[in-house]
């Protein structure tokens, strides 16, 4: 059943299905757009929002006549460059939802156990970091998450 699924959800599922167990896929934006009868910018939106470094993907695109988009599944902790770009993406502050997405990806990729993930979520939760100022909370959350990621890096 496709009920309650947005076109973005359907396109995301389709791309993940194509990716399957492969490390990477190359797609033509226009072909995918034609397949789903949507504008190419819809494909860009899905890739930009669903295939992020936080979710364990690197995306490279080549424009022009033979243009393609490469979606590569990456292990967040095995690859130091990927971890560094993830930490750069986190930056000085991060929203709870984005931090939780990173923890979910670590769990999905079997980098952490469910128990470790639950502990990380508690440490990153709004309730835990509530100091009455959302900007300060987001900055604390980023520092905690980056510390956890660095710790994981040295354990694996």
| Residue-range definition of the domain harbouring residue 39 | 7-73
Q: Do 99 and 129 sit in the same domain of this protein?
A: yes
Q: Do 96 and 138 sit in the same domain of this protein?
A: yes
> Where a domain ends, among 58, 73, 88?
73
Residues 6+ apart with CB under 8 A from 17: none
Q: How many domains does the chain have?
A: 2
Residue range 28-85, pLDDT digits in tens: 888 999 999 999 889 989 999 899 877 878 898 887 666 789 998 887 667 677 778 8
- We report the CATH number of the domain holding residue 14 as 3.30.56.130
Query: Considering the entire predicted model, what is its pTM?
Result: 0.62
Asked if residue 2 is part of any domain, the answer here is: no
């Amino acid at each position: 059943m496709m009920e309650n699924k947005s076109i973005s959800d359907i396109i995301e599922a389709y791309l993940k299905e194509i990716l399957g167990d492969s490390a990477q896929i190359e797609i033509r934006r226009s072909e995918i757009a034609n397949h789903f009868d949507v504008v190419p910018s819809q494909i860009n939106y899905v890739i930009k929002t669903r295939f992020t470094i936080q979710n364990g993907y690197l995306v490279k695109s080549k424009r022009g006549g033979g243009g393609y988009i490469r979606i590569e599944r990456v292990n967040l902790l095995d690859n130091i460059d990927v971890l560094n770009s993830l930490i750069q993406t986190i930056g000085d502050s991060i929203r709870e939802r984005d931090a939780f997405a990173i923890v979910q990806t670590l769990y999905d990729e079997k980098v952490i156990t469910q128990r470790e993930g639950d502990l990380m979520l508690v440490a990153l939760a709004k309730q835990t970091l509530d100091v009455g100022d959302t900007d300060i909370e987001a900055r604390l959350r980023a520092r905690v998450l980056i510390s956890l990621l660095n710790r994981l890096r040295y354990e694996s």
